[in-house]
């Protein structure tokens, strides 16, 4: 019985605390108003949260009707406060009244057994209320193309992607529409992130931040996006090249981390050549970003559509063709084509082939040396692909700042591999 009472007291304390958190923000927002003109302050919000918690506890004895009556009472009180305060102040916003209802509901959640979730929601509510000025300024600075791009990205992520079937279709069952949709979303998302990162942080810091984040997921997608930006004249070529190199270096680091988790025994065979694929691009990217001056035109460039949805869809079609080719070669050459399969897989994705080969060596299905060589082939082929994409999409001027770096890293990695063997 004592434990149950302690639990009830804890939930009510959370309900009171979350009301005080929201009330603290509301009280600060209205701190300049005359005494007595503020209907809901920090104490009122604290009591609203506590009332919600008590109402939720009463449902065990009186049913959900108790919670409904309490909520309607709070709603009537909020409506009356709005009528009383809006006319003399000429403030017709209903933010405070909605916050009162949210506080009651969150208090009910805490009292009903979800105190952590309710408290987290209260903090988020207080943050949204507190960032009123910043949110309004951001909305005022948002132009139509940026709004449309945001809605397009949300449409792609929330509506289109879930509708795509998550099963293998087509020749050799090679096409998974959901996987291709994720690639399209990834490419569009990187372009979107890069646009706003450049706008908020400037071309230098913004692009490099985007390269780091994108490289954690797909360095190939970063190369495609940055190559398109170079072709359109958006951003300084040295910084775009440094971003591609940075993403490529992070890709190599990602391979080592994945292998260390799945099969650490492979690390002695991979650590030197893969590390060179990481270290050389990372050092070059840092030197370019810190020592190469950004041309003035990079600060005055005209940013275009935040996402190139048409280009992303076209690249999705290219990936679909490559997936079919991968399965075709696998069917034609069978188990004997491990190296060939690794090379073909490295064209589009290093993670999948690296993880599968590491798992196969761990289970003993293939020898350690074969698995390590396959992973290296995939990583090297992917490096060549990125250098080729940067050159063909962004041109030779972009290639100067990234393709040369990637090929240098590839050469040093190959030399290290030969010396180790």
Of 110-119, 216-225, 271-280, 300-309, the poorest mean pLDDT is in 300-309
- pLDDT value for 84: 75
- Nearest 5°: phi and psi at 302? -95, 110
- pLDDT value for 311: 67
| pLDDT value at 143 more than 90 | no
- pLDDT value for 91: 63
| pLDDT value at 132 more than 60 | yes
DSSP characters for 350-389? Answer: SHHHHHHHHHHHHHTSS-HHHHHHHHHHHHHHHHHHHHHH
- pLDDT value for 48: 93
Residues 223-252, mean pLDDT to the nearest whole number: 83
pLDDT in tens, 87-103: 666 666 688 888 899 99
Provide the pLDDT confidence category of residue 341 given band limits of 50, 70 and 90: confident
Q: Which of 102-116, 247-261, 310-324 holds the top average pLDDT? A: 102-116
Of 153-162, 177-186, 292-301, the poorest mean pLDDT is in 292-301
pTM above 0.85, yes or no: no
Mean pLDDT score of the chain: 79
Alpha carbon separation from 39 to 36, 44, 49, 85, 410 (Å, rounded): 7, 8, 16, 8, 68
pLDDT in tens, 392-401: 888 888 888 8
Q: What percent of the chain has pLDDT over 70?
A: 76
- pLDDT value for 365: 66
pLDDT in tens, 288-339: 877 766 544 333 344 455 666 666 677 677 767 766 765 676 567 755 677 8
- pLDDT value for 172: 73
| pLDDT value at 237 more than 70 | yes
- pLDDT value for 296: 43
- pLDDT value for 326: 58
- Nearest 5°: phi and psi at 90? 60, 25
Q: CB of 406 within 8 A of CB of 277?
A: no
Neighbours of 360 (CB within 10 A): 18
- List the one residue out of 395, 387, 398 whose CA is nearest residue 219: 387
- pLDDT value for 302: 44
| pLDDT value at 1 more than 50 | no
Pairwise CA distance, residues 208 & 353, whole Å: 27
Provide the pLDDT confidence category of residue 51 given band limits of 50, 70 and 90: very high
Provide the pLDDT confidence category of residue 138 given band limits of 50, 70 and 90: low
Of 81-85, 310-314, 342-346, the poorest mean pLDDT is in 310-314
Residues 156-176, mean pLDDT to the nearest whole number: 83
Of 75-79, 286-290, 379-383, the poorest mean pLDDT is in 286-290
Provide the pLDDT confidence category of residue 250 given band limits of 50, 70 and 90: confident
Better pLDDT: 8 or 235: 8
Pairwise CA distance, residues 305 & 146, whole Å: 7
| pLDDT value at 353 more than 80 | no
Token pair, residue 380, equals 């090297």
Residues 273-283, mean pLDDT to the nearest whole number: 90
| pLDDT value at 188 more than 50 | yes
Better pLDDT: 166 or 51: 51
- pLDDT value for 367: 81
Better pLDDT: 222 or 333: 222
| pLDDT value at 62 more than 80 | yes
- pLDDT value for 39: 57
Residues 233-251, mean pLDDT to the nearest whole number: 83
Neighbours of 367 (CB within 10 A): 11
């Amino acid at each position: 019985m004592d434990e149950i009472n302690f639990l009830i007291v804890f939930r009510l304390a959370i309900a009171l605390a979350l009301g005080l958190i929201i009330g603290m923000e509301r009280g600060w927002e209205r701190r300049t108003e005359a005494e007595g003109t503020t209907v809901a302050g920090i104490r009122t919000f604290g009591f609203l949260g506590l009332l919600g918690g008590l109402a939720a506890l009463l449902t065990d004895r009186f049913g959900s009707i108790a919670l409904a009556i309490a909520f309607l009472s709070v709603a009537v009180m909020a409506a009356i406060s709005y009528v009383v305060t809006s006319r003399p102040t000429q403030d017709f916003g209903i933010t405070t009244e909605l916050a009162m209802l949210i506080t009651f509901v969150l208090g009910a959640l805490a009292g009903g057994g979800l105190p952590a979730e309710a408290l987290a929601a209260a903090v988020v509510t207080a943050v949204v209320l507190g960032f009123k000025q910043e949110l309004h300024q951001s909305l005022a600075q948002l132009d139509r193309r940026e709004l449309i791009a945001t809605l397009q990205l949300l449409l792609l992520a929330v509506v289109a992607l879930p509708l795509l079937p998550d099963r293998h279709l087509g020749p050799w069952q090679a096409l998974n529409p959901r996987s291709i949709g994720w690639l399209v979303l990834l490419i569009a998302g990187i372009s979107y992130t890069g646009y706003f990162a450049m706008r908020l942080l400037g071309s230098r810091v913004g692009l490099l931040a985007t390269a780091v984040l994108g490289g954690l997921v797909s360095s190939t997608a970063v190369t495609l996006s940055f190559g398109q930006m170079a072709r359109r004249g958006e951003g300084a070529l040295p910084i775009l090249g440094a971003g591609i190199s940075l993403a490529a270096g992070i890709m190599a680091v990602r391979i080592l981390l994945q292998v260390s988790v799945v099969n650490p025994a492979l690390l002695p065979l991979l650590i030197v050549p893969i590390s060179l694929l990481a270290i050389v691009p990372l050092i070059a990217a840092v030197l370019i970003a810190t020592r190469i001056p950004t041309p003035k035109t990079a600060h005055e460039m005209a940013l275009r559509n935040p996402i190139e949805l048409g280009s992303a869809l076209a690249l999705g079609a290219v990936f679909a063709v490559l997936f079919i080719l991968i399965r075709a070669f696998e069917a034609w050459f069978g188990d004997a084509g491990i190296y060939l399969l690794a090379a073909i897989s490295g064209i589009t994705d290093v993670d999948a082939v690296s993880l599968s080969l590491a798992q196969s060596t761990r289970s003993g299905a293939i020898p350690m040396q074969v698995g390590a060589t396959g992973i290296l082939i995939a990583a090297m082929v992917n490096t060549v692909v990125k250098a080729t994409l940067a050159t063909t999409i962004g041109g030779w001027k972009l290639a100067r700042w990234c393709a040369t770096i990637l090929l240098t890293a590839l050469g040093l990695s190959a030399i290290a591999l030969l010396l180790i063997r």
